Amino acid sequence: MDLGKAASTAGITHVVWIPDSSLGRWAAALERTPGLRLLRVAREGEAWALALGLYATGARPLVVMQCTGLYESGDSLRNAVLDYGAPLVGLIGVRNATTGASDSAASLAEPFLRAFHLPYRWLEPGDDFSALTAMVDEANRLRRAEIFLYPEGPA
């Protein structure tokens, strides 16, 4: 299942993103998914704030970015999720998670999320995002913020 279909099946209304070379392959699929709006941001910090504003109006945004952008956006993520308690969900591509190559971008992903008190789960690598639907559904049901990690190559 492509990323757009998996997200919209889970009730996602907006994908707020900056692509990388792995997740970027889904740009066209996201743009043509009915009921889903793709919102590009200039900088990852914007994505959490934009998602916070959308959430305030009843929309269900999914934030999509590479782990490099996650680190860049830490203050905005902290503000949205920890200060305001918004149950935002994010799909984060983890560079070099599948290669085992030494890369601080990969090795910091889990410690970073633990430091932010954010629950996370790993998706399988590859092109089938069907597992994402149930993960987003569950986060919605529990009304909790959660991060879904997507293992990437040397992106």
Contact residues: other proteins, CB under 8 A:
14, 37, 39-43, 45-59, 61, 75-76, 78-80, 83-86
Contact between residue 60 and residue 13 where contact means Cβ atoms under 8 Å apart = yes
5 or 14: CB nearest other proteins: 14
Contact between residue 130 and residue 6 where contact means Cβ atoms under 8 Å apart = yes
Nearest distance from residue 72's CB to other proteins, in Å?
A: 12
Nearest distance from residue 1's CB to other proteins, in Å?
A: 26
Tokens 């757009």 map to which residue? Answer: 4
CB atoms within 10 A of CB 76: 19
Nearest to 149 by CA among 141, 44, 111: 111
Nearest distance from residue 55's CB to other proteins, in Å?
A: 7
Nearest distance from residue 54's CB to other proteins, in Å?
A: 4
12 or 80: CB nearest other proteins: 80
12 or 47: CB nearest other proteins: 47
- Give the integer Cα–Cα distance in Å for 96 and 82: 28
